[in-house]
Structure 1
Amino acid sequence: MQPRNFMAIWAVTSQGANICRKIARQFPGAHIYLGDKVKDPPPEAALFQSLQQAVEEKFGRYRSHVFVMAAGIAVRIIAPHVTSKLSDPAVLVADDSGNFVISLLSGHMGGANTLAHQLSRVLGATPVITTATDNARVPAIDQTARHRNLFMENPQAVKQVSMAFLAKKQVDRFDPGGWLDKEAGAWTNTLAEPLFTRHPGIMVHHDMTPVPEHILVLRPRNLYVGIGCNSATSFEEILEVLHTAFDKNRLSIQSINLLATIREKTGEPGLLQLSKHLQRPLIGITRHILDLVPDVPNPSLMVQRHMGVKSVCEAAAIMAADKGTLMVPKIKSGNVTVAVASCT
């Protein structure tokens, strides 16, 4: 899947075109689309004959759309393309006088509510936000998860948590890393262990221990994977060892922040493919930095002889995690070694 562009701004009148330009000047990477009957369109704008056809072509290519026109037009135009709150782009509507900015679609997950406030400041407009949690001033847990870069494993559980917040009912939270302390600390009952009951709840952790299906599971990206491998080791072999390490230790793959290895191995095709597959960066660490780890549990004379360091995977994981805690010591299988460290 190709990465989506940032923002498309749409208008069908000259007055709307002026609003588009004002927005685009403040949001680098925004693209302007204007009806071909707009007089004196700016040179940076792309022109369309049919708004319906143009939106059909571009809707999935942008993370956000701003329609400078009547809300009813925007609703009818986007309706055939709306699929899921988990994947729909943010959709906003501004009137062509610049008085109001409406968050129309994907207010939390897509960031439309936040964008509505930003656009309103640019235009001197009034933001119109209709999501219940925002107006009741209770935590919007899906929006918070997005801001904290927490992966929602079961987004269907968001509704129960949000409804409990709105009704001021108990919500339990197991969050040993304190990821939601600021936003949800005052609204939740903190658990020392993931022992949930019938109450709605939130678990923020990398551990794959099963919890009741009504508990919202959020995965923090706090795991750092150190990998060593022989030259030309296949992607499939590396991936298999990685999954073995995570399954054996009940860790979520979604909690991986990045992959790390010795700098000389960053060009290995198998590692590069793994990075692409997981959509996580691969970093290379110099021998000098790897040797700063004083006591790796499993030093290797073979690695010392061939790479000039006593450890690759364990030292790389620890240093990538900013001298974090080694959670999974070296696992060796075939041509691959894997270790995992955490950083809260």
Structure 2
Amino acid sequence: MISIICPSPKGSDIAFKLQKSLNANLYIKGKIEDKEYDKIKDSEVSLSTNCTIYRFYEDFKLKDITEETFKISDSIIFISSTGIAVRAVSSFIVSKDVDPGVVVVDLSSKYAISLLSGHLGGSNELTLEVSRILNCHPVITTATDTMNIKAPDIIAKNHNLIIDDLKKAKCIAALLVDGKEVGIKDEYGIIDITKGYRKLSELEENSIWITNKINYEDTGLDFNKVLKLIKRDIVLGIGCRRNTPYEKIKEFVLDSLRKYNYDFRAVNKIVSVDLKQDEDGIIKLAENFECPFITYKREEIKLVEDKYEKSEFVFKTLGVYSVCEPCVDLSGAEIVISKIKHEGMTLAIGILKS
């Protein structure tokens, strides 16, 4: 969601024009009479139907509006000076991986300025879009962008990778800005090697590692100087007895992932049989891993269960001979770790095919 904040009535025309193109929520200072609102709706800068317009009068409170939009918006556009925008957002800035992108447009619409969260927050991209809509000059000052180099956080964003450590990402970006070449070891071959980078066959210090693993096989490597970008391609097939405690399932899964050197943050989804769709322990695990929990009907499982080890106990209980492996199979993943059994729980680990 994009929110447009217009602290001055003089910026309303700009705000309306942007709203029409971006389908944004609008926060405007100044009185708008009903007949004027109807006129706006009928004009070429009409509000889109699902926009929420907040009509404030003398009680327009910029700090309160900014606080609200920081909570609900992916991006915020200020129609104001940069000074007003900086003072408005300064109290609410947390971190570049959670802050919304912030763009500023001056009241003469000469410039669109990327102010905050240019990469992960997307304000650089939004700045370019705003400049096209208003036919104004985009101002982007992030060092890697001005040097035409892809920053590590842009690589992560473009390929839906998780940044292991933002401080390391900043260090790698600093190396690139200083003119030093950074190596990339890409386990998947998904990254284009562009300006500032080189391809690695073996991981080295001051480099980027695209992986789903916890550690690299070279134990002598200083991992404080390696930026890991994690690909979420792991599927966990889980079976368990009814009402198995969440902590027990979590410990079993984490121990198993560590044993086979898989990063839990690489988990893309958790799968099981439909009878487990209300299994509280698995539901909580999926919430903890921030991934979907998907279940399959027993009729679907029966189509592939013959490939895997059968359990008469499971058949008597659920009507199918196996759960964890067939469900991973049905998810489209390739099983890399077959059924692991532990105290009434089973786990299979799969990797989604690229």
Q: Shorter-normalised TM-score: what interval?
A: 0.7 to 0.9
* CA-CA distance at 1:55 after TM superposition: 2.0
> More deviation in 160-169 or 308-317?
160-169
Aligned to 2:338: 329
Q: Is 1:18 equivalent to 2:17 in the alignment?
A: no
- Which secondary structure does the structure 1 equivalent of 2:27 belong to? strand
Aligned to 1:192: 201
**Could you tell me whether the CA contact under 8 Å between 1:139 and 1:165 is conserved in 2?**
no
- Which secondary structure does the structure 2 equivalent of 1:213 belong to? helix
Match of 1:84 among 85, 88, 95: 95
TM-superposition CA deviations, 1:56-114 (whole Å, max 9, x none)? 45433422211011111111222222232232221110123333211100101211111
Cα separation, 1, equivalents of 2:194 and 2:324: 36
Match of 2:53 among 34, 42, 45: 45
Aligned to 1:228: 239
TM-superposition CA deviations, 1:146-184 (whole Å, max 9, x none)? 22111111111123322333344332222111232x2x3
TM-superposition CA deviations, 1:184-221 (whole Å, max 9, x none)? 35643323343x14xx2001111111552111111100
Q: 1:303 to 1:192 in 2, by over 3 A?
A: farther
Cα separation, 1, equivalents of 2:305 and 2:245: 31
TM-superposition CA deviations, 1:236-259 (whole Å, max 9, x none)? 222122112111111111101111
Cα separation, 1, equivalents of 2:310 and 2:157: 39
> More deviation in 98-107 or 162-171?
162-171
Q: Is 1:274 equivalent to 2:274 in the alignment?
A: no
Aligned to 1:144: 155
**TM-score under structure 2 length normalisation:** 0.85
Cα separation, 1, equivalents of 2:135 and 2:195: 33
> More deviation in 84-93 or 306-315?
306-315
**Could you tell me whether the CA contact under 8 Å between 1:13 and 1:38 is conserved in 2?**
no
**TM-score under structure 1 length normalisation:** 0.87
**Could you tell me whether the CA contact under 8 Å between 1:245 and 1:328 is conserved in 2?**
no
Aligned to 2:43: none
Aligned to 2:46: none
Q: Is 1:318 equivalent to 2:329 in the alignment?
A: yes
Aligned to 2:119: 108
Q: Unaligned regions of 5+ residues in structure 2, if any?
A: 39-51
Cα separation, 2, equivalents of 1:325 and 1:295: 16
Summarize the alignment of residues 298-309 of structure 1 with structure 2, pairs less than 5 Å apart: 298-309=309-320
Percent identity (aligned): 29
Q: Radius of gyration: which is bigger? A: 2
Match of 1:34 among 28, 31, 37: 28
Q: 1:186 to 1:51 in 2, by over 3 A?
A: closer
Cα separation, 1, equivalents of 2:132 and 2:318: 55
- Which secondary structure does the structure 1 equivalent of 2:74 belong to? strand
Q: 1:226 to 1:105 in 2, by over 3 A?
A: same
Pairwise CA RMSD of aligned residues?
2.3
Cα separation, 2, equivalents of 1:88 and 1:338: 36
Cα separation, 2, equivalents of 1:244 and 1:296: 26
Match of 1:134 among 130, 142, 145: 145
Match of 1:121 among 132, 144, 154: 132
* CA-CA distance at 1:224 after TM superposition: 0.7
Aligned to 1:8: 3
1:11 maps to amino acid? C
The number of equivalent residue pairs is 330
Aligned to 1:248: 259
Match of 2:350 among 325, 336, 341: 341
2:215 maps to amino acid? T
